[in-house]
Structure 1
Amino acid sequence: MEAKALLMAEWGITSKVQCMVTDNASNMILSAQLLHLRHVPSFAHTLNLIVKKALDQTPVINEIRQKARKIVGLFRSSCKAKDKLVEMQGLMGRPTLKLIQEVDTRWNSTFDMLQRLYDQREPVAAALSNLNNDTAPLTSIDYDIIQQSLSILQPFKLATTEMSEEKRVSASKLIPLYRMLQHKLAQKKGNATQESTVQLGSHLQEGLHSRCGGYESFRALALATLLDPRLKNVAFGNAAKAQEAEKHITLECALLMRSNTNPASSSSSPSPSPSPSTPVETQDSLWELFDTRIHQTKMIHNATADATVEVKKYINDAYLPRTHDPLTYWKERAVIFPHLYVLAKKYRCMPATSVPCERIFSKAGEIICKKRSRLSPSTADKLIFLNKNL
Structure 2
Amino acid sequence: MEPARKRRISPVWEHFDLISPKKVRCLVCAKELGYNNNTSSMLRHYRAFHENEDEVGASSSHATRKQELDEALVSMIVKDTQPFTIVEDIGFRGFVSKLDPNYVLPTRQALKAMVEVKYEAEKEKTKAKIQKAAAVSLTSDMWTSMNLDAYLAITCHFVGEKSKLCSVLLGVQEFPQSHTAENIAHEKASLMAEWGITNKVTCFVTDGAPNMVACVRELKLRHHICIAHTLNLVVKKTLEQNPILSGIRAKARKLVGFFRSSTTAKEKFTQVQLHMGMPVRKLLQEVETRWNSTYLMLQRLVDLREPVGAALAGLQHDIPMITSEEFKIVEGCMSLLSPFYEATVELSAEENVSASKVIPLLKMLEQNLQEEMTKPGPPAALEMGEVLIRQLREKLYTLQSMSIMSLATLLDPRFKIIGFFSQTKATEAVKRLTAECSTIIRSQQTREDIPQASTSNEVTGGSKLWHRLDVSVMETRTSQNATVDATVEVQRYLSEPNIGRLENPLEYWERQQLIYPTLYKLAIAFLSTPASSVPCERVFSKAREVVSKRRNRLKPKTVEKLLFLNKIE
TM interval, shorter chain, is: over 0.9
- Among the aligned pairs, what percent are the same residue? 46
Corresponding residue number in structure 2 for 1:152? 336
Corresponding residue number in structure 2 for 1:4? 188
Amino acid at match of 2:461: E
CA contact (8 A) 1:50 1:208 kept: yes
Equivalences for residues 202-213 of structure 1 within 5 A: 202-213=386-397
Deviation by residue 1:210-232 (Cα, 9 ceiling, x = unmatched): 11011111122111111111111
Higher strand content, 1 or 2: 2
Secondary structure of the residue aligned to 1:131 is coil
Q: How far, CA to CA, are the matches of 2:562 and 2:481 in structure 1?
A: 53
Corresponding residue number in structure 1 for 2:474? 295
Corresponding residue number in structure 2 for 1:193? 377
Structure 1 residues 59 and 268: CA distance shift in structure 2, 3 A: closer
Shift of 1:383: 3.4
Deviation by residue 1:328-367 (Cα, 9 ceiling, x = unmatched): 1112211111111111122222111111111101211211
Matched, 1:281 2:461: yes
Q: How far, CA to CA, are the matches of 1:152 and 1:386 in structure 2?
A: 41
Equivalences for residues 42-191 of structure 1 within 5 A: 42-191=226-375
Q: How far, CA to CA, are the matches of 1:217 and 1:124 in structure 2?
A: 48
Deviation by residue 1:80-117 (Cα, 9 ceiling, x = unmatched): 00000011111111210000011112111111111111
Matched, 1:350 2:529: yes
Matched, 1:325 2:470: no
Corresponding residue number in structure 2 for 1:309? 488
Corresponding residue number in structure 1 for 2:131? none
Secondary structure of the residue aligned to 1:214 is helix
CA contact (8 A) 1:21 1:353 kept: yes
- Give the gaps of 5 or more residues in structure 1: none
Corresponding residue number in structure 1 for 2:540? 361
Equivalences for residues 30-49 of structure 1 within 5 A: 30-49=214-233
Shift of 1:171: 0.7
Amino acid at match of 1:61: L
Amino acid at match of 1:366: E
Q: How far, CA to CA, are the matches of 1:267 and 1:194 in structure 2?
A: 73
Corresponding residue number in structure 1 for 2:210? 26
Pick which of 21-30 and 112-121 moved more: 21-30
Structure 1 residues 299 and 88: CA distance shift in structure 2, 3 A: same
Q: How far, CA to CA, are the matches of 2:451 and 2:510 in structure 1?
A: 33
Shift of 1:178: 1.0
Amino acid at match of 1:164: S
Pick which of 156-165 and 339-348 moved more: 339-348
Shift of 1:205: 1.0
Corresponding residue number in structure 2 for 1:338? 517
Shift of 1:309: 1.0
Shift of 1:379: 4.9
Relative to the length of structure 2, the TM-score reads 0.64
Q: How far, CA to CA, are the matches of 1:31 and 1:386 in structure 2?
A: 28
CA contact (8 A) 1:148 1:192 kept: no
Matched, 1:228 2:406: no
Deviation by residue 1:174-218 (Cα, 9 ceiling, x = unmatched): 111111100101111222421111111111111111110111111
Shift of 1:244: 1.2
Shift of 1:317: 2.0
Relative to the length of structure 1, the TM-score reads 0.93
Runs of 4+ in 1 over 6 A off after TM superposition: 265-269, 271-274
Shift of 1:26: 2.2
Secondary structure of the residue aligned to 2:332 is helix
Alignment counterpart, residue 219 of structure 1, candidates 403, 411, 426: 403
Q: How far, CA to CA, are the matches of 2:290 and 2:376 in structure 1?
A: 25
Amino acid at match of 2:492: K
Q: How many aligned positions are there?
A: 384
Q: How far, CA to CA, are the matches of 2:435 and 2:358 in structure 1?
A: 23
CA contact (8 A) 1:85 1:123 kept: yes
Q: How far, CA to CA, are the matches of 2:558 and 2:208 in structure 1?
A: 33
- Give the gaps of 5 or more residues in structure 2: 1-181
CA contact (8 A) 2:547 2:559 kept: yes
